[in-house]
Amino acid sequence: MTATIINGKELAHEIRGSMKEEVSQLIMNEGLTPHLTVIIVGDNPASKSYVRGKQKASDETGISSDVIELPSSVTEEKLLQMIQELNNDHEVHGILVQLPLPDHIREENVIVTIDPDKDVDGFHPINIGRMMTGEDTFFPCTPYGIITMLKSKDIQIEGKHAVVIGRSNIVGKPVGQLLLNENATVTYCHSRTENLKEHTTRADIVIAAIGKPNVITTDYVKQGAAVIDVGINRLEDGSLTGDVDFDTVKQKASYLTPVPKGVGPMTITMLLKNTIKAAKGLSKQ
């Protein structure tokens, strides 16, 4: 078997095309231009590159955006104050604070300060709670992108066994919850899991969010499984690779996502989708 490759770049392009149309209708009919404000603290090169990507994608879709760059020495108090100002600014629909933050700033304080109705990352505990109880809300972008990729290929989720490797608040935990909301049977595995292979080889759907290059080899995967690679690992030669050993797993899986051009472009696309949703005030309904 050779897996069908789910090209996230192409899918993202398709979805952004219809979002662009939706945004131009919003602008024309309601005079409403969705606006995203991104805050970046410090000069982590990976974060800067992600933020540039978010801005470029916003521009291409007709969403207006601005980036507030703060020095890594900024105090938590000052950052929270800026977020409050953005909460009160009616022209700002979505607020995203790029993570990670410097050690002296408590991430949880930042996340709870963002107005839940502008929380386009879907990280606020209120939105996490809404997701857990099955309400419509802002879903965290990477998990939302993964579900969208599975659905784009009509991959059955209901009743299937999904194994999530990784338990971060950004990817592992919420993707497991969204899969459960779609009626999958979900197993969470992580760095302390014993006998990882025993779990992953029983999975119909594997979500690899480990952060180590090429560790998921064919012996971790059941014949015909759908494998979603969330890893973005930079190798010494500068190239990007996922958590899954693409060339070998492709021979055994039914579906597989590449890195790059896999989950990454979908994450940004879901951020744009959440921003449009925030502008329309849908999370309040």
Least distance from ligand GUN to the Cβ atom of residue 203, Å: 24
How many C-beta atoms lie closer than 10 Å to residue 53's C-beta?
15
- Catalytic, 121? Answer yes
Question: Which member of 117, 119, 121, 229 is catalytic?
Answer: 121
Which residue lies nearer to ligand GUN by CB, 38 or 225? 38
Please count the CA atoms within 13 angstroms of the CA of 150 that sit on its side-chain side.
Answer: 25
Which residue lies nearer to ligand GUN by CB, 117 or 121? 121
Least distance from ligand GUN to the Cβ atom of residue 278, Å: 14
Cβ-closest position to ligand GUN:
99
Token output for 114: 């963002």
Which residue lies nearer to ligand GUN by CB, 26 or 271? 271
Least distance from ligand GUN to the Cβ atom of residue 96, Å: 5
Which residue lies nearer to ligand GUN by CB, 95 or 253? 95
Residue in the structure block whose two tokens are 């449009």: 276
Please count the CA atoms within 13 angstroms of the CA of 39 that sit on its side-chain side.
Answer: 29
Interface with ligand GUN (CB under 6 A):
96-99, 121, 141-142, 170
Which residue lies nearer to ligand GUN by CB, 3 or 271? 271
Least distance from ligand GUN to the Cβ atom of residue 97, Å: 6
Least distance from ligand GUN to the Cβ atom of residue 285, Å: 24
Please count the CA atoms within 13 angstroms of the CA of 147 that sit on its side-chain side.
Answer: 21
How many C-beta atoms lie closer than 10 Å to residue 261's C-beta?
17
- Catalytic, 261? Answer no
Q: Which residues pair with 4 in a beta bridge?
A: 255
- The 8 Å CB, 24+ separation contacts for 150-158 are 150/205, 150/226, 150/228, 152/6, 152/11, 153/4, 153/6, 153/226, 153/255, 155/205, 155/226, 155/255, 156/204, 157/182, 157/183, 157/184, 157/205, 158/182, 158/183, 158/184
Rounded to the nearest 5 percent, the helix, strand and coil shares of the chain are 45, 15, 40
Nearest to 266 by CA among 96, 107, 151: 151
Distance, in Å, from the CA atom of 49 to the CA atom of 174, rounded to the nearest integer, reads 24
Active-site amino acid positions = 54, 98, 121
